Each structure stands twice: as C-alpha cells, then as structure tokens.
Structure 1
Amino acid sequence: MAFATLNKAEIVQAHARGANDTGSPEVQVALLTARINELTPHFKANPKDHHGRRGLLKMVNSRKRLLAYLKDRDLPRYAALIQKLGLRK
C-alpha cells in the first residue's frame, strides 16, 4: 500500500534542509521511520505474513545504513535526527 501523498509531503517539509530537498539522509530516514511505524501494527495482527516481514526488514536495514552514513559524516545532524524522530531511547 502506498504512502499517503499528503503525509509524505509533511514529512519531507519537516525534515528537509532546503526548499527542494527530498534526497538528504534526514528525509530518507524520516520517511522510512514513518513507513516502519505504519507497518508495525500489521505484523502484530498478522504474525504469519513472512513475505511482508521481509520488506519490513529491508526497510529497517536501509534506515540503519543511512543512519550509519549520517553518523560518520556529520555527528550533530545525526544526533538531532535521532532526537527528533525518537529513535534509540
């Protein structure tokens, strides 16, 4: 199921570094986090959906790689993003 366009636009606007920024690690991590949070209840209700779970794990690993990249490149931006999204409590 596709992400709601309006919700996606809000997320991009909230995390963008510039006017037309959709590819920065912050935006990508925020979008992946929103998708992961949206799918989590589905897998609690449907524990045997293994094919869908594979997609979820791919998203989680993609977010993990983006966060590692951001941590290596710019630690203050990484810390701000983690704080803003509520990851790593």
Structure 2
Amino acid sequence: MVNKAKELAIHDKDTGSSEVQVAQLTVKIENLSKHIKQFKKDKHSSVGLLRAVNKRKKLLDYLKKNKVESYKEVISKLNLRK
C-alpha cells in the first residue's frame, strides 16, 4: 500500500490528496476481494468492499473533472480501467 501511495504523493507527508486516497482504496479493494473469495458468506466485508469501490469511483470522477493529467497518471500507475 505504501509504495503505490508514495508514487502518487505530491510531497513527502501527503496522505490526503485524491491521488493518494485512490491508491490506498485500491489496495484495500484488492485485499477485501481476496478475503471475500475465501469467505463467501462474509456479508459485512462485502458491504465494506462495495463502499470502498463507490468511494474510489467518486474520487476518480473528481480527478477526471478537475485534474485530467493527474487522473491519467493514476489510471496508468494503478492499472485501472477507464
């Protein structure tokens, strides 16, 4: 998680920018996806996964509207679909 977030950070102590938040949510989504594949009946975690996916989608929409270059960089570095 730290590596992806550090690549997209604007400065050394950057933890709140949209780019870093998207990177952190991406790692969380990957971990929850693995967990849910193993424990299919864990509904609480699947709700958390849906919330994380929706939040990441909103942040990506914000980047796409306001910071197009940053959006393209995030998409390419995190290997996300457009």
TM-score by length of 2: 0.90
Partner of residue 73, structure 2:
80
List gaps (5 residues or longer) in structure 2: none
Aligned CA RMSD, in angstroms, stands at 1.4
Whole-Å Cα distance in 1 between the matches of residues 42 and 12 of structure 2?
A: 39
Whole-Å Cα distance in 2 between the matches of residues 19 and 43 of structure 1?
A: 33
Whole-Å Cα distance in 2 between the matches of residues 44 and 20 of structure 1?
A: 34
List gaps (5 residues or longer) in structure 1: 1-6
Partner of residue 7, structure 2:
14
Would you say the 8 A contact 2:26–2:56 is kept in 1? yes
Moved over 4 A (4+): none
Kindly report which structure 2 residues correspond to 1:1-89, keeping only aligned pairs within 5 A, or say none.
Answer: 7-8=1-2, 10-88=3-81
User: How much identity, in percent, do the aligned residues show?
Assistant: 46
Partner of residue 3, structure 1:
none
Would you say the 8 A contact 2:29–2:53 is kept in 1? yes
User: SS of the counterpart of 2:10?
Assistant: coil
Whole-Å Cα distance in 2 between the matches of residues 39 and 54 of structure 1?
A: 10
Whole-Å Cα distance in 1 between the matches of residues 34 and 6 of structure 2?
A: 26
Letter in 1 for 2:61: A
Aligned residues: 82
